[in-house]
Amino acid sequence: MAKVLMKGNEAMALAAIKAGCDAFYGYPITPQNELPEYLSKHMALNGRVFVQSESEVAAINMVYGAAGAGARALTSSSSPGIALKQEGISYMAGAELPGVIINVMRGGPGLGGIQPSQGDYKQITRGGGNGDYYLYSLAPESLQEAVDLIKESFDIADYFRNPVMIAVDGLIGQMMEPVTFDNETPKWELEPKTWAADGDRSNREKNVINSLYLDPLMLEKHNLKLKAKYDVMRDKHQRYEMINVKDAEIVIVAYGSMARIARTSIEILEEKGIKCGMIRPITIFPFPDKAFRELQDSVKNILVVEMSTGQMLEDVKIANECERPIHFYGRVGGIVPEAEEVVSQVLKIIGGEDNA
Amino acid sequence: MPKSKIVYERSEGLSLMDNSYCPGCTHGIIHKLVAESLVELELLERTIGISSVGCSALNYDFFSCDMQQAPHGRAPAVATGIKRVRPNSIIFTYQGDGDLASIGIAEAIHAAHRSENITIVFVNNAIYGMTGGQMSPTTLLGQKTTTSPDGRTKAQGLPLRIAEMMATIPGATYVERVSVHNPQHVAKAKKALKKAFSIQKENKGFTLIEFISTCPVNWGMTPKDAVDWAVDNMIPYYPLGVFKDATVGEEK
């Protein structure tokens, strides 16, 4: 299949179908509505399940049920809707169930706005619900990357038996770009879901899907088992892109749409004779702290750019281990920074006008 | 040697694990009826039960079929998720009045609204048992609980009649309220459950059986007094009977 021009939300929906998603459960919320709208037609055409639920809470619990029965299940929403889903997400992590959640982020807090934002960084990377858990969280910068990562995300979720969050902002959801669905994605070694409570007991004993451990010693054991899984994600499955970092004097850290804009900033700076690089986290959990070990001595400053008031900033500070001065630039409320704004910020830092 | 005949035994639908219920509580009887119904209809092997939150939260250990434990009130949503991807399975949720009538009322109503092919076993003992006896939406007027110490008043809401309410939903196929306070009613209750599971087996839609149940410990009564109290106070307010049967006339 050649490239096709598609809207972000629809391309992500089709990617899920290509990934073998068996069922979608979701509730309307802007700016992700085209995703369930597309699936309401195309899941049925492909013999799959589509249910418009009564609420965000019900949607994630339907995903929890379908995942418990061994199906590949998906839900999508936007920031306030994701907040409502945290109950079911926590249960999925606790019961070790796979599943994919697409978050097309908008501004907050509260009802906030409907324009693009990266204000859910903490909601996404800190688990989000009650208890000790994390989501493997992928933050694509383009439709093509979103499509490729969604195609792989169901495998990742099955591999870890843990929910995967696709973190995009309203910009990626709403824009149109040419995409291909034919890119090869990494293969994961998956085991049969012998644990599933799928109501087929012809060849096995009963299966139970559960996150309740009333005995503290048993719960501690369970928590440590989950932690070991997150440690493997941190040790072996960080993803990031190093852009133009060789001999760079300053390095930007940005993800998603913000990283894409910063690419233009880097080009503008290059024309001005300034060597600016970028660390682009692709996983925001696990945060790619390994990328910071790769930076050369030439890098004198780090600039974190986000569509938030500085949520990823904290992870950068931890990863930086006080090695270099860290600066921050962010726009919020649904305002997407322009490349020139980032350029001016870099010039200020180099000119000594912005003290970290 | 005279031949002996087994006239009663533990249902194979129940596990061998001891249950966690208080003496005199009717959960045990209701569990037995669910298990026996599934076995007699030969559905047990393809059944997935959904445990909720409350006294029955641990019943994933007590039934011998596949089980999934659900968040508080969400059992009908979890059941929906499963049934849609495993349409040949038989799904029941097992929920109390705190779980279904309060925090999970939306999920219950909308599962009926979509006429999901599931069976809800709704156990109404008019109190939050697991958390120590707080007022629920089905607590009777005047009934004392730890959060209505002077007895429920109108200001705290008139008790919700769930079976009657669910019967008004167009998608509901079969809704009946039963009781297990004596052997005749136990037999009648089992008949209701078997009817509900049969309807589900034939993909005819949403079924709910409400059980009038007791909570001797939190009601502060002996098991015998609790049964009498249920008969004298609950059944007059929550009358027994079939409130909806959309299958009537179908086979004539």
CATH at residue A122 = 3.40.50.970
Pairing of strands A250-253, A276-281: parallel
Tokens of B7: 């006239």
**A50, A57, A61, A207: best to mutate for the B interface, most B CBs within 10 A:** A61
Are residues A191 and A326 located together in one domain of the fold?
A: no
Within 8 A of A101 by CB-CB distance, chain B residues are none
Are residues A121 and A93 located together in one domain of the fold?
A: yes
What is the distance between the alpha carbons of residues A335 and B63, in angstroms, rounded to a whole number? 54
Q: Which of A69, A206, A211 sits opposite B82 (nearest CB)?
A: A69
The answer, for A199 touching chain B at a CB cutoff of 8 Å, is: yes
Are residues A171 and A194 located together in one domain of the fold?
A: yes
The reply to whether A248 falls in a domain is yes
Provide the CATH number for the domain around residue A250: 3.40.50.920
Are residues A212 and A344 located together in one domain of the fold?
A: no
pLDDT digit string, tens, across residues A3-23:
999 999 999 999 999 999 999
Task: Check residue B209 and give its pLDDT.
Answer: 99
Residue of A nearest to B61 (CA): A208
Are residues A319 and A344 located together in one domain of the fold?
A: yes
What is the distance between the alpha carbons of residues A38 and A62, in angstroms, rounded to a whole number? 19
What is the distance between the alpha carbons of residues A243 and A246, in angstroms, rounded to a whole number? 8
When pLDDT is cut at 50, 70 and 90, the band that residue B1 belongs to is low
Within 8 A of B46 by CB-CB distance, chain A residues are 199-201
Average pLDDT, chain A: 97
Domain stops at, among A186, A209, A236? A236
Task: Give the number of residues written for chain B.
Answer: 252
pLDDT digit string, tens, across residues B5-60:
999 999 999 999 999 999 999 999 999 999 999 999 999 999 999 999 999 999 99
Neighbours of A82 (CB within 10 A): 26
For A210, the 3-state DSSP assignment is coil
**A79-94 and A56-68 helices cross at what angle (nearest 10)?**
30
Are residues A249 and A128 located together in one domain of the fold?
A: no
The answer, for A211 touching chain B at a CB cutoff of 8 Å, is: yes
Domain stops at, among A207, A236, A265? A236
Domain membership of residue A303 as a residue range: 240-350
Strands laid side by side in the B66-69 sheet:
A208-209, B66-69, B47-51, B90-96, B119-124, B206-212, B172-179, B241-245
pLDDT digit string, tens, across residues B120-163:
999 999 999 999 999 999 999 999 999 999 999 999 999 999 99
Q: Which of A57, A199, A202 sits opposite B86 (nearest CB)?
A: A199
Tokens of A110: 């509260």
pLDDT digit string, tens, across residues A231-265:
999 999 999 999 999 999 999 999 999 999 999 99
Q: Which residues contact A336 (CB under 8 A, 6 or more apart)?
A: A115, A116, A171, A257, A261, A307
Task: Check residue B252 and give its pLDDT.
Answer: 47
The answer, for A97 touching chain B at a CB cutoff of 8 Å, is: no
Task: Check residue B3 and give its pLDDT.
Answer: 84
Distances (CA, A) of A78 to A52, A101, A204: 15, 10, 40
What is the distance between the alpha carbons of residues A100 and A166, in angstroms, rounded to a whole number? 7
pLDDT digit string, tens, across residues B83-106:
999 999 999 999 999 999 999 999
What integer is the mean pLDDT of A169-178?
95
What integer is the mean pLDDT of A85-105?
98
When pLDDT is cut at 50, 70 and 90, the band that residue A123 belongs to is very high
Are residues A86 and A124 located together in one domain of the fold?
A: yes
Q: Which of B45, B48, B110 sits opposite A58 (nearest CB)?
A: B110
Q: Find where tokens 């986000």 sit.
A: A306
What integer is the mean pLDDT of A27-47?
97
Contact A303, A346 (CB under 8 A): yes
When pLDDT is cut at 50, 70 and 90, the band that residue A354 belongs to is confident
Domain stops at, among A173, A204, A236? A236
B164 burial level (CB within 10 Å; 0-12, 13-18, 19+): middle
Strand runs (DSSP E) across chain B, as ranges? 47-51, 66-69, 90-96, 119-124, 172-179, 206-212, 241-245
The answer, for A9 touching chain B at a CB cutoff of 8 Å, is: no
DSSP character string of A234-296: HHH---EEEES-TT-SEEEE--HHHHHHHHHHHHHHHHTT--EEEEEESEEES--THHHHT--
Flag whether the ipTM exceeds 0.95. Answer: yes
The reply to whether A23 falls in a domain is yes
Intra-chain end-to-end CA distance of chain A, in Å? 49
Task: Check residue A203 and give its pLDDT.
Answer: 87
- Number of domains forming the structure of chain A: 2
Produce one character per residue of A162-171: b if its CB has 16 or more CB atoms within 10 Å, e if not: bbbbbbbbbb
Alpha helices, H only, B88-237 = 97, 105-113, 162-167, 183-201, 216-219, 223-229, 235-237
Q: Which of B65, B81, B88 sits opposite A65 (nearest CB)?
A: B81
The answer to whether the CB atoms of A73 and B85 lie below 8 A apart is: yes
Answer whether residue B251 shows pLDDT above 70: no
The structural domains of chain B, ordered by start, are 27-245 (3.40.50.970)
What is the distance between the alpha carbons of residues A20 and A181, in angstroms, rounded to a whole number? 13
Are residues A199 and A299 located together in one domain of the fold?
A: no
The reply to whether A14 falls in a domain is yes
Answer whether residue B225 shows pLDDT above 90: yes
Answer whether residue A197 shows pLDDT above 50: yes
Are residues A207 and A252 located together in one domain of the fold?
A: no
Within 8 A of A56 by CB-CB distance, chain B residues are none
When pLDDT is cut at 50, 70 and 90, the band that residue A1 belongs to is low
pLDDT digit string, tens, across residues A333-350:
999 999 999 999 999 999
Task: Check residue B176 and give its pLDDT.
Answer: 98
Task: Check residue A202 and give its pLDDT.
Answer: 84
Residue of A nearest to B116 (CA): A51
Residue of B nearest to A52 (CA): B114
Pairing of strands A240-243, A276-281: antiparallel
Distance from CA of B64 to the nearest CA of A (A): 7
Are residues A110 and A253 located together in one domain of the fold?
A: no
The reply to whether A355 falls in a domain is no
Are residues A227 and A308 located together in one domain of the fold?
A: no
**B44, B51, B66: best to mutate for the A interface, most A CBs within 10 A:** B66
The reply to whether A128 falls in a domain is yes
What is the distance between the alpha carbons of residues B143 and B150, in angstroms, rounded to a whole number? 8
A271 burial level (CB within 10 Å; 0-12, 13-18, 19+): exposed
Closest among A75, A32, A22 to A196, alpha carbons compared = A22
Are residues A188 and A274 located together in one domain of the fold?
A: no
The reply to whether A356 falls in a domain is no
The reply to whether A339 falls in a domain is yes
The reply to whether A253 falls in a domain is yes
Contact A172, A6 (CB under 8 A): no
| B17 DSSP 8-state letter | S
What proportion of chain B, given as a percentage, has pLDDT over 70? Answer: 98
Average pLDDT, chain B: 97
